Amino acid sequence: MGSSTGRRDDGRSAGVRDRDEEGRARSARPRDGLGRPLPYGAAGVARQPEGVVRTPEETVAEAQALLDAGKPFHAHEVFEDAWKSGPEAERTLWRGLAQLAVGLTHAARGNVTGGARLLRRGAGALEEWAGAAERRRPHGIDLAGLARWARELAETVETSATGEGAPVDAREAAPRLR
């Protein structure tokens, strides 16, 4: 915030929320590569557009590129679009993948508890969804390998954590989706 004049440091009125084109509350603050808000006016990383409908192939390719670039927060947004726009039968799959990306985001931010919890939750969702033999490699995605990766990373994050958490390098820790 800013001064006692009721204005924020960026000159906007205090208490006025940023809104998107549809009028929904949405912060206009720039974000860093892990999705953390930066001060207004700071240079940030371009956000992923929301509500994009992609084919499963496009979703996996774009999310993998973002993971490889150390941007799991952005990969989560790609998976979230698939979760919200895809067929009902695949929502658990895409939600589980989004949870893995958010878990990696939290682990990279040093949030040991949140990171480990979301990595395990995502692994569980993928294992649950893959219960049927024909669902083990949907769209070429290695569900068993991803669940194993997530559980191992959760364990690593927890056991290597110091009092404040030990952030992982999001780029180095990124999984292979296929």
pLDDT tens for the 178 residues of the chain, in order = 444 444 455 555 556 777 767 776 667 888 888 888 888 889 888 888 888 999 999 999 999 999 999 999 999 999 999 999 999 999 999 999 999 999 999 999 999 999 999 999 999 999 999 886 567 789 999 999 999 999 999 999 988 765 455 689 999 999 999 9
pLDDT of res. 2: 47
In a domain, 107, yes or no: yes
**Positive/negative CA dihedral, 168, 169, 171, 176:** negative
Q: How far apart are the first and last CA of the chain?
A: 45
- Specify the CATH number for the domain of residue 146: 1.10.3450
- Looking at the structure of the chain, the number of domains it has is 1
In a domain, 17, yes or no: no
User: Are the beta carbons of 59 and 83 closer than 8 angstroms?
Assistant: no
pLDDT of res. 162: 54
In a domain, 64, yes or no: yes
pLDDT of res. 166: 65
In a domain, 90, yes or no: yes
pLDDT of res. 108: 95
0.85 surpassed by pTM: no
In a domain, 125, yes or no: yes
Report the candidate in 161, 148, 164, 174 with the shortest Cα–Cα distance to residue 68.
174
DSSP letter (8 states) at residue 112: H
Distances, alpha carbon 107 to alpha carbons 41, 54, 117, in Å: 27, 27, 10
In a domain, 23, yes or no: no
User: Which secondary structure element, helix H or strand E, spans residue 109, and what is its range?
Assistant: helix 91-109
Domain with 64 in it: 56-173
